[in-house]
A and B are shown apart, each in its own frame.
Chain A
Amino acid sequence: MNSIHLNKVLPKYFTPNTVGTTSTIWNQKTTFEKGNHYLIIAPSGSGKSTLATAMLGNHFQYDGTISYNEIDLKTQPIENIVGFRKTEIQLLFQDVRLITDLTIRENIMLRTFGKKNADIDGKIESYAQILGITSLLDKKAKNCSYGERQRSAILRSLINPADFLIYDECFSHLDLENKKTAFNLIKTVASEKGSAVIFFELNDFPFAHQCNILNL
């Protein structure tokens, strides 16, 4: 997938508090291109998660259209939409969504869809080392802190990256140092794969970055 097009998208059942302002994605035309990095900055209540999940095809409670390349999501059967999540688009939710009864490693392996090899194992080890969670890999997710889970979920999102990586406030429980490390890892992996990255954040990152900044 090379691009995601948002055309006059507006939530059906609530009005984001930024609607009507000059710089917003709501009710406008916006295109996200593969290979680019975006940072969407928006205050609370502006519908960040609503837009992120709509872009994943998890709901259709909006007017307007969201298209992958030229394919309107609303016209697609559920099995096709799920199919896109394997290689075209993935989302890291604000609440990380790890299966609490599985270990961190098992949770990460969910993204490989049953594939196991030394390359994957190597990646897990090296990313875990960068993120500082090596000792957690065989710990159950329910026994990890929120910040640890957030780093684990970031690792999961990078193990088999899709064309578009969406992160919904994924650094909310990390300190500045960890934020920077995680951001750099995401940037590196995405660049290797040529993926687009879209961050939804409350504020701009407190460090230098080259993301295209958009407002919601």
Chain B
Amino acid sequence: MKNITKSLFLYLGLFLAFVLVLGCIQLYTNANFLFGKKSSDSNYWITLSKTITPDNIGRKELLGFNPKDVEDLKKWNEVKDVYPIVSNDFRVSADGGNFIPFYTDMYLEAVDDAAIDINNLEDFQVKDNTIPIIISREYLNLYNYGFALNQGLPQITEEFAKKIEVNINLTLKDKNLKFRGKLMGLSDRIHSVLVPKKFLDSINATQATALTNQTIFTRVLVKVNDANDQDLIAKMNKKGYESNQESLRSAKIKGKLFLVLRTIALIGIFIFLLCIFMIINSIKMQFLEQQEEVSIKYLLGYSPKQMVRKISRFFSIRIGIVILFCLILLSVCQYYLSLSQVSNGMLPQFISYYLWTLIVIIPVVIYVVVNRLIYHWLIKSWKF
């Protein structure tokens, strides 16, 4: 009876430990399903800028990214590519001419074509005094849903917007230039007013004011593997970079969730190690309780190696059965979790297939470890 209670507690402890460890592995997998997996194939784009502080306010050389910052960024593991955004170093204004009565001061930015999410960029160059412009789709939405409605103005579709021409006036150091601006497309990636980079660079180069700041970029567009990567967030925080992308926010939550999971898994591993310790001790106890029998068998010619092997095999099989029960429990939980509202239909109905391989792997490892430890202990205890 005493023996049964003792083994019952031992196996109950092991069961709890395996539920904790294996449950954490499954939850980790589930979290990846919910928040998106790390994958080197996928590309995410985020716009980085430096956090504005009282120290760098108004100082482009501090607020912007210098070439060294850009080089450093390129070295981050999480970063695939870096595209600095060039901004205008002169005054720019736009007016509607005779067609639309409006006037506004504005800004222009430029970035490498490779970073722009428009399929055909063949016509994205200044030709016949016409500057092609790409603006953020958000700007058109702001106008359509925010501004036009309450001002009694008509809404503009993308196709119609592409037909509108406005005057772009550049006020340079020594002269004024007048261009026609024509919308070429809408970008979902870059929240800006983009013009061809070659054009902006060439005009910037003629401005004396630009010389000191020529290599300072106020913002950079970064291509990353995984916008949910918590390591990326940690690095950004450390350098004082920020980005307003929604995906980064979920990364922060994911980071914290994984921290909790890791903690639980650590506790599970701790309990698991304790249980292994208990198993080794309980095997020792069995040998001690049967010391007379074991030593008589040894003197009669029974191999100690085989006696230890037999008992290790017995325990390993029991542990395999405990893991099996544990995985069945986890499978049931996973099934109901996948049906629940929390999962939002994003979770698989079955637990990861590699968890099932642990039914074999863990008992084999335990068999080898226990066998070795107990054999050495037994032989040592017989030496006299």
Question: Taking beta carbons and an 8 Å cutoff, which residues of A are in contact with B?
Answer: 56, 58-59, 61, 78-79, 82-86, 90-91, 93, 97-101, 110-111, 113
Contacts and interface: CB of A to CB of B under 8 A. Distances in A.
Contacts of A97: 296, 299
A82 B298 contact: yes
B114 interface: no
B342 interface: no
B4 interface: no
B292 interface: yes
B160 interface: no
Q: How large is the interface on B (under 10, 10 to 19, 20 to 34, 35 or more residues)?
A: 10 to 19
Nearest to A57: B299
Contact of B384 (A61, A98, A99, A101): A61
B384 A90 contact: no
Contacts of B298: 82
A82 B304 contact: yes
Nearest to B298: A82
B293 A99 contact: yes
A113 B301 contact: yes
Interface in B287-302: 292-293, 296-302
A82 B301 contact: yes
Interface in B266-307: 292-293, 296-305
B142 interface: no
B100 interface: no
A212 to B, nearest CB: 26
B379 interface: yes
A91 B304 CA distance: 18
A45 to B, nearest CB: 19
Contacts of A82: 298, 301-304
Given A79-B303, A85-B300, A91-B299, 9 more contacts: A82-B302, A83-B303, A90-B300, A90-B301, A93-B299, A97-B296, A101-B293, A111-B300, A113-B301
Nearest to A101: B293
Contacts of A93: 299
Nearest to A78: B379
Contacts of A78: 304, 379
A65 B302 CA distance: 24
10 smallest CB-CB distances across A and B, nearest first, come from: A85-B301, A86-B301, A97-B296, A99-B293, A82-B303, A110-B300, A99-B296, A79-B305, A59-B384, A79-B303
Contacts of B302: 82, 110, 113
Nearest to B296: A97
Contacts of A99: 292-293, 296
Given A78-B379, A99-B293, A56 B384 contact: no
Nearest to A96: B296
A3 to B, nearest CB: 20
Contacts of A58: 299
10 contacts: A59-B384, A61-B384, A78-B304, A82-B301, A82-B302, A85-B299, A90-B301, A100-B292, A110-B297, A111-B300
Contacts of B292: 99-100
A83 B305 CA distance: 11
Contacts of B297: 110
Contacts of A111: 300
A83 B301 contact: yes
Nearest to B383: A59
A110 B300 CA distance: 8
Nearest to A93: B299
A78 B304 CA distance: 9
Contact of B299 (A56, A79, A113): A56
Contacts of B299: 56, 58, 85, 91, 93, 97
B200 to A, nearest CB: 83
Most buried by A among B292, B296, B300, B302: B300
B303 to A, nearest CB: 5
Nearest to B379: A78
A110 B296 contact: yes
Contacts of B303: 79, 82-83
Nearest to A99: B293
A92 to B, nearest CB: 10
Nearest to A157: B300
A143 B373 CA distance: 37
B298 to A, nearest CB: 7
A101 B290 CA distance: 11
B299 to A, nearest CB: 7
A84 B302 CA distance: 10
Interface in B3-52: none
A93 B298 CA distance: 13
Nearest to A88: B301
A100 B298 CA distance: 16
B90 to A, nearest CB: 90
A188 B325 CA distance: 58
Nearest to A84: B301
A113 B303 CA distance: 11
A83 B296 CA distance: 15
A2 to B, nearest CB: 19
